[in-house]
Amino acid sequence: MFYISWNPSFGLTLLTTTITIYVAAVAMDGQEPSRKRLILVGAVIVNLGILIFFKYSNFFFNSLKDSLQFFNIDWQQPTLKILLPVGISFYTFQALGYCIDVYRGDRKPERHFGKFALFVSFFPLILAGPIERSGRLLPQFEEKKQFSYDRAVSGLLLFCFGLIKKIVIADRLAVYVNTVFGDIRAFNGSAILLAAYFFTIQIYCDFSGYSDMAIGTARIMGYDIMENFRQPYRSLSIAEFWRRWHISLSSWFRDYLYVPLGGNRVARLRWYFNIMIVFLLSGLWHGAQWTFVVWGGLHGLFLCAGAGFRKIRGTIAGIMFGAAGKPLAIAIILVGLAVSVSGYLLPPRWYGPDPRRLLYLEQIAIPLAGLCIAAAGFIKGFKQSAVGSLRKIMSIALTFHLVMLGWIFFRAEKMADAWYAVTHLFMGKQTLKLSAWYQPNFKRYEFIIAGLAIILLIVIDSVQARGELRERFAKLPAYIRWPVYQLLVIIVLLFGIFTQSKFIYSNF
């Protein structure tokens, strides 16, 4: 009832997936390998066919039309008014994962149709995941559930954290992001750059907020759902980012596509191919637009480049962070400071008359580069114990900005907008004055609230990262816990945005 309340016709696609996967799994039990493979292929074709029809039909016809127009071939594109069933990408992958597990012999087929249907359509997960595994969720349906006060409190607290992420942080930042990306060519580079930063935070809070609410709801009901996010923006590399971001999807592609393709047990070129296939398909899974495909391809390229240049990165790290004598270290520091100061001394005309010159190159880029050189010199000669911390900070910063670059393509409505945003991040008439970034619907106080909300996100992430804090908090006296609960509710009511209720990932 929960699912068909969105649209009764959605129930037909969900029922079709449930029946076909249930029948296929039961039919595979005890069959010869060739017969099992045939049944699996049939189930995969049917269910991926349903997904492709609803999600990618118009994408296919649009791409075909564009390709034919490139060769000056006029073609009348058929108009398909297809309504995408909510959550179809999530429950299709969850059901297919179960079917593949049965084929591999990792589990026996579930013969109770009601329990299997509940697995596919479990309401906390059906809209936007996490994509749960059958081996984790199905056995929990066999257990007799009893109300647990501690689990209910834990689930409610997690749900509240997710709600704050969504309507206090994500939806507030969305106001600015939607304004800029809605008409990208009307804004200068600094506004686009700020929108890119905001969207990087928005999409994390939006999606992890939903996951927290889904996991919290299931926990209240007595079910344990897999973790879907693990502080992804603290990652030291793109590979680590994907071990922390949308864990249920990345592990699904790893187990059901990457490993069957050979994983990392193949030659280097074949490994590059495997990585690119996985990430291109991952991008396409997110949406029927080339911007999503490019987003996935960028992450694949980042991973391949990281592996291909590992030795070079080690050499550079040795030069930057290796020990040095104090005279050399002092010389490096002086050079860095000189470079930093030069940015303020050189006249603007030194950069040429082009009004599209880099965003305050003389006030940001050059001084920042000089300070980095000076910091490296100081650590090389006087603070070798801080080398590890500096490398970690730089790795996190680099990974974060590579991810942010990808998010620009993810958010853009079309490739032309994404390319414009990327090529104009530091171009055009620039200013560092905050007042220049104000929009009609995003004034000074909105920036202040957004800044406080981001600080709140850091606090929430830190609490969630340290599970023992939640356990210790649950043991505190009621006169401490309840005021905190009331404070969380007040934060939601005072600072929440209640006009943007749709989750980004519910579109997928």
The predicted-structure confidence for 278-319, as pLDDT tens digits, reads as follows 999 999 999 888 999 999 999 999 999 888 777 666 665 555
**Does the structure show a pLDDT above 70 at 323?**
no
Distance CA 187, CA 36 (A): 57
Q: Model-level pTM?
A: 0.84
Domain end residue (candidates: 110, 142, 174):
142
**Does the structure show a pLDDT above 60 at 11?**
yes
Per residue in 385-404, pLDDT (tens digit) is: 555 677 788 788 889 999 99
**Does the structure show a pLDDT above 50 at 73?**
yes
**Which has the higher per-residue pLDDT, 170 or 149?**
170
121: tokens are 């359509």
Residue 339 covered by a domain = yes
Question: Using an 8 Å Cβ cutoff, are 282 and 270 in contact?
Answer: no
The total of other beta-carbon atoms located within 10 Å of residue 176's CB is: 24
What pLDDT shows up at residue 6?
Answer: 64
pLDDT-based confidence at residue 1 (cuts at 50, 70, 90) = low
**Does the structure show a pLDDT above 80 at 29?**
yes
Residue 86 covered by a domain = yes
Which of 327-331, 343-347, 448-452, 453-457 shows the lowest mean pLDDT across its residues? Answer: 343-347
**Does the structure show a pLDDT above 50 at 19?**
yes
Q: At what angle do helices 478-495 and 149-163 cross, to 10 degrees?
A: 30
What pLDDT shows up at residue 424?
Answer: 81
Amino acid of residue 329: A
Which residues span the domain enclosing 320? 310-382
DSSP 222: T
**Which has the higher per-residue pLDDT, 502 or 393?**
393
**Does the structure show a pLDDT above 60 at 409?**
yes
pLDDT-based confidence at residue 356 (cuts at 50, 70, 90) = very low
Average pLDDT on 165-192 reads: 87
What pLDDT shows up at residue 357?
Answer: 46
- Residue 358 neighbours by CB under 8 Å, 6+ apart: 351, 365, 426, 427
Mean pLDDT is highest, among 157-161, 196-200, 469-473, for 196-200
**Which has the higher per-residue pLDDT, 195 or 191?**
195
**Does the structure show a pLDDT above 70 at 483?**
yes
Marked catalytic residue, from 112, 246, 286, 299 = 286
* Mean per-residue pLDDT of the chain: 81
Clarify whether 424 is annotated catalytic. no
Per residue in 414-456, pLDDT (tens digit) is: 999 999 998 887 665 544 455 545 555 566 777 777 788 888 7
Domain end residue (candidates: 382, 403, 435):
382
Helix H or strand E segment including 309: none
Which of 37-46, 180-189, 283-292, 353-362 shows the lowest mean pLDDT across its residues? Answer: 353-362
Residue 258 covered by a domain = no
Mean pLDDT is highest, among 236-240, 337-341, 433-437, for 236-240
The residue among 228, 232, 246 whose CA lies nearest residue 200 is 232
Residue 27 covered by a domain = yes
Write phi, then psi, for 441 (nearest 5 degrees): -110, 20
The pLDDT > 70 percentage for the chain reads: 75
Q: At what angle do helices 189-221 and 149-163 cross, to 10 degrees?
A: 160
What is the number of structural domains in the chain? 2
pLDDT-based confidence at residue 212 (cuts at 50, 70, 90) = very high
Positive or negative torsion for Cα 232, 236, 239, 240: negative
**Which has the higher per-residue pLDDT, 148 or 443?**
148
What pLDDT shows up at residue 437?
Answer: 55
pLDDT-based confidence at residue 90 (cuts at 50, 70, 90) = very high
What pLDDT shows up at residue 349?
Answer: 46
pLDDT-based confidence at residue 359 (cuts at 50, 70, 90) = very low
Residue 355 covered by a domain = yes
What pLDDT shows up at residue 130?
Answer: 93
**Which has the higher per-residue pLDDT, 34 or 501?**
34
DSSP 233: G
Residue 106 covered by a domain = yes
Average pLDDT on 350-376 reads: 54
Residue 456 covered by a domain = no
Residue 5 covered by a domain = no
Average pLDDT on 360-368 reads: 56
Domain end residue (candidates: 343, 364, 382):
382
